[in-house]
Amino acid sequence: MKPAKPESTTMDKETFVPPTMRALYFSPPPASEETKSTTATIAFDADFPTPQPSFNQYLVKVQAASFSLDELQAARTLNPTLSIPQIPVHSFCGTVISTPVEDHQNPFGPRFKIGDSVIGLKNYTLDGAAADYVLTTEDELAFKPRNVTAKEAASIPLPALTAWHALFAYARLMDTLIGGTQTKSGLRVLVTSAYDSDAAIDVIRILRAPRHLLNPGIAADDETPVWICAVCSSTDQELFLTDQLGVDKVMVSGSNLEDSFRAHGWEPVDLVVDASGAGETFRQSHSPHVVKDDGMVLSTVSSSVDAVRNDPRIQEQVAKGKLGSHFVAVRPDGLALQRIVALVETNALRGRVDRVMDMVDAGLRDILGGRRETGKQCKGKMTVIHVDTSD
């Protein structure tokens, strides 16, 4: 006999999902222009077709979505063959409206139930969340942290997953941090744009988080000491970095990294996480005076990696397998997002909302379409799109 269908695995009968929704989307350029995706503009449509979930998809009503200018650039790298129309902005917070059909025969039902508040990061090759509704899968989701607002929650997945993947997918530091390797000498890390980039701040917060939150079951005395040097853009940011984030040393950007390390007598680091987006900073980060011969240099900004492609010394080191050099291509990761939520709920990690814009704001469309810069706004900080006006 088949198990009874759990009530939570069907769409709430009282929930009306309209056939159309409000959405921002990439619109083809005028016929007089070359029809390339890079020339597409962002349009607003109040009658965009509401997506229909497949057998393994959730339908989520979006409360807020978020992006950074760095992400918009990275999105073009991660999805160069942009299809039109496509909805942008892939970090979101919302409420589950319907659950996957494939879970209807599961006696326990789906992991996320109707009415659950969730956060997630969508795959960049699929539609994003700058709309009233978004389709998503279980491996892209986690429960919303209970101690933050929907807007703050929407700002968390992108920078936090970027930081998590940099540390644990690329640099493979989990064993190091929980007492596996390198515990005697400790770990040395350099983080650039440490105030102006939310991903950089999250790197530091994760490195300073209690280890049992990163991997439950780890004793406190298994922790590896971590020396962190942060680069910021002005002296008035130093107090925040030392007092609130607990970094050991601070440098103000503008000075040569190699010269600064030699002048201070600092030993090279094991890992550089460069969030500056400046190609010259990324290139300097590969200096043997800055990073160890067998260390790793990571950039959270896609354009930075171009600075080292034509440097024969760096390419020789990378080719020999002695030095790692990569752009951190963030991806959906529900399991990592669960760990991140645990960090948020213990205040070890948090979201930062630089500003909030309404989905119908014409200025927002200009920013998303790359037709307008944002003045003093830092490219690594999160802008939140207010989607659900009833919230």
What is the chain's alpha carbon radius of gyration, rounded to the nearest angstrom? 22
CA distance 281 to 299: 10
Written in H, E and C, the secondary structure of 317-371 is HHHCCCCEEEECCCCCCHHHHHHHHHHHHCCCCCCCEEEEEECCCHHHHHHHCCC
Q: For the packed helices 198-208 and 157-164, what is the interaxial angle rounded to 10 degrees?
A: 60
Residue 185 has pLDDT above 80, yes or no: no
**Strand ranges, E, within the chain:** 20-27, 41-49, 58-67, 91-98, 117-121, 133-136, 141-143, 187-191, 226-232, 249-252, 269-274, 291-299, 324-327, 353-358, 382-386
Q: What is the mean pLDDT of residues 329-347?
A: 96
Q: Which residues pair with residue 250 across a beta bridge? A: 230
Instruction: Give the residue, 289 or 175, on which the prediction is more confident.
Output: 289
- Tell me the pLDDT tens digit for each residue of 162-171: 999 999 999 9
The segment with the largest mean pLDDT, out of 10-14, 37-41, 87-91, 251-255, is 87-91
Instruction: Give the residue, 28 or 234, on which the prediction is more confident.
Output: 234
| Helix, strand counts (H, E) of the chain | 12, 15
In degrees, to the nearest 5, what angle opens at C-alpha 67 toward C-alphas 65 and 72? Answer: 135
Q: What is the mean pLDDT of residues 111-130?
A: 95
Residue 37 has pLDDT above 70, yes or no: no
The burial of 76, by beta-carbon neighbours within 10 Å (0-12 exposed, 13-18 middle, 19 or more buried), is given as middle
Q: What is the mean pLDDT of residues 39-51?
A: 88
In order of start, what are the domains of the chain with their CATH numbers? 7-156+351-386 (3.90.180.10), 160-327 (3.90.180.10)
Residue 234 has pLDDT above 70, yes or no: yes
Q: What is the mean pLDDT of residues 213-230?
A: 74
Instruction: Give the residue, 321 or 125, on which the prediction is more confident.
Output: 125
pTM of the predicted model as reported, rounded to 2 decimal places: 0.89
- Tell me the pLDDT tens digit for each residue of 355-388: 999 999 988 988 887 765 544 456 788 999 999 8
CA distance 141 to 302: 25
- Tell me the pLDDT tens digit for each residue of 70-98: 888 777 666 666 666 789 999 999 999 99
Residue 33 has pLDDT above 60, yes or no: no
Query: What percent of the chain shows pLDDT beyond 70?
Result: 84
Residue 8 has pLDDT above 80, yes or no: no
Put residue 296 in one of left, alpha, beta given phi > 0 → left and psi -120 to 50 → alpha: beta
- Write down the pLDDT at residue 3: 39
CA distance 257 to 271: 14
Report the b/e string of 157-173 with b at 16+ CB within 10 A. Answer: bbbbbbbbbbbbbbbeb
Is the separation of the CB atoms in 154 and 93 below 8 Å? yes
Residue 5 has pLDDT above 50, yes or no: no
The pLDDT confidence band at residue 7, using thresholds 50, 70 and 90, is very low
- Tell me the pLDDT tens digit for each residue of 132-170: 999 999 999 999 999 999 999 999 999 999 999 999 999
287 three-class SS: coil
- Write down the pLDDT at residue 179: 59
Residue 119 has pLDDT above 50, yes or no: yes
- Write down the pLDDT at residue 146: 96
**Alpha-helix runs per DSSP H in 234-311:** 238-239, 257-264, 279-284
Mean pLDDT across the chain: 85
- Write down the pLDDT at residue 222: 55
- Write down the pLDDT at residue 226: 92
β-pairing verdict for 269-274 and 291-299: parallel
CA distance 242 to 247: 5
Nearest to 294 by CA among 276, 273, 312, 268: 268
